[in-house]
Amino acid sequence: MNYYPFHIGDYRSATMHLSNAEDLAYRRALDWYYDTEQPLPLDTQWVARRLRVEARDLDTVLQDFFVRTGEGWVHERCGQEIAQFQQMLAKNRANGAKGGRPKKAVETDPQPVGWRPVGAGVAAATQPQGNQEPRTRNQEPEHPLAPDGAAGGGTPPKTPAAAPRHPVHPAHADHPSGRADPADLPAPHALPRPTGDNSHPLAGTVCQLMKRLGVGLVNPGNAKLNALLNAGVGVGQFEDAAHKALAAGKSFSYALGIVEREEREARALGAQLQKPRVAAQPANRQEALEARNRAVGDAWLQKMQAQAQVQTPTQTQMQMQMQMQTQGAGHAR
C-alpha cells in the first residue's frame, strides 16, 4: 500500500502517553506494516535497526498496540485496512477485465406522460380529470403530433436533457453519475466519533459544501470542525479554505488547518491592536540623562515655590511685631 487513512484525532488520543521517541517508533512501525502488508517480524532488534529507532522504544510500542503471533507482531486495525484495500483492488481488476466499471441501467418510460394513446390511430394528451379549467392556446404543445399519430407510428417530440444540478468534479468525470463510487472511497474509521453538546448544527452543511467542491474524507463529527464553528467561524471561510486545499491537492484536514491558522492569526492581531501604546523612549543615554535632570529641576522648583508661599505670611507677621515694639518704646519715652 502506498496510501492509508490517518485520523489525527484518534491517533493523538491513543498515543498521549508515548514519549517522542516512542511516538516516532510507532509511526515508522505503521509505515512498515502498510508498506509490506505483513506483520512485523519477531526479531525486534533487526526491525529496530531498519526503522532507525531504539529497541526499547520499539518493544514498548509493540507491547501496547500489537499482538505477538507465530507469524509476527499483528496490528488489528492495519489488518482490516489492508484487507479492504485488497478487496478494492480485486474489484477494480475484475471491472477492468470486463472493459471498465459497469454502467447503471436507467429505467425509462416508453410512453411519456401526456402522450398516452386512447384509441387506434389516434394520439391525444392525457384526459383532464377533476375540476380542470378549459384548455387555452397556452396549453397547446409547441410541436404538433405527426399526422399518423403516436399509435400509427409517430413519436412524440424529444425534449432537451436537463442540465446537471451541480457541476461534475474532474476527478469523478469518468463515473456515469459524475460522483465517486462508494467502493473506491476509503473505509470510514471504526472508532467512535466525538458527539454531544460540542457538535454544531452547521457541521453537516460545511461537509456537504466541501464534498460538493471535491474535498474528500469529510467528517461532520470532527472535533476541530465543531470547535471552529462554535468559535464563530462562518461557512464562507470554510469554502475559501476548501478551494485552497484543492489547489494544493490536499484533503479535509488540510482545509481545517487553514481555517485554524487564519483564526489564530486574526486573534493575535486583534490582541496586539488592543494593547495600550507605550510612550517613546529616548534614543540614547545622553537624552535620557537630560530628561532626568529636567525632571529633578522641575521637582526642586515646585518645592521652593511651595515653601515661599508658606513663609510669606510669617515674615509679614514679624514685620508687624517689630513696628508695634517700636511704637511702644516711643510712648514710654
Residue 186: is its pLDDT beyond 50?
Answer: no
Which helix (H) or strand (E) segment is 35 a member of?
Answer: helix 20-36
3-state SS assignment for residue 93: helix
- Residue 193: strand, helix, or coil: coil
**pLDDT (0 to 100) of residue 57:** 94
pLDDT, position 314: 56
State how far the Cα of 255 lies from the Cα of 246, in Å rounded to an integer: 9
φ and ψ at 76, to 5 degrees? -60, -45
Which pairing describes strands 73-74 and 67-68: parallel, antiparallel, or unpaired?
antiparallel
Which residue, among 234, 268, 238, has the nearest Cα to 253 in the 3D structure? Answer: 238
234-264: pLDDT as tens digits? 888 888 888 998 888 888 888 889 999 988 8
* 3-class DSSP assignment, residue 238: helix
C-alpha distances out from residue 269 to 148, 257, 259, 274, 275, Å = 78, 18, 15, 9, 10
The residue ranking higher by pLDDT, 192 or 79, is: 79
Instruction: Round to whole Å and give the CA distance between 223 and 8.
Output: 10
Structural element, H or E, at residue 227: helix 223-230
Which residues, at least 6 apart from 10, have a Cβ–Cβ distance to it below 8 Å?
189, 191
Predicted pLDDT of residue 185: 42
Task: Check residue 149 and give its pLDDT.
Answer: 46
Phi and psi torsions of 260, nearest 5° = -65, -45
- For residues 124 and 118, the answer to whether their CB atoms sit within 8 Å is yes
Q: What is the pLDDT of residues 278-330, one digit of tens each?
A: 655 555 778 888 888 888 888 888 888 887 776 555 566 666 667 677 766 55
Tell me how far apart the alpha carbons of residues 97 and 203 are, in angstroms, rounded to a whole number.
Answer: 41
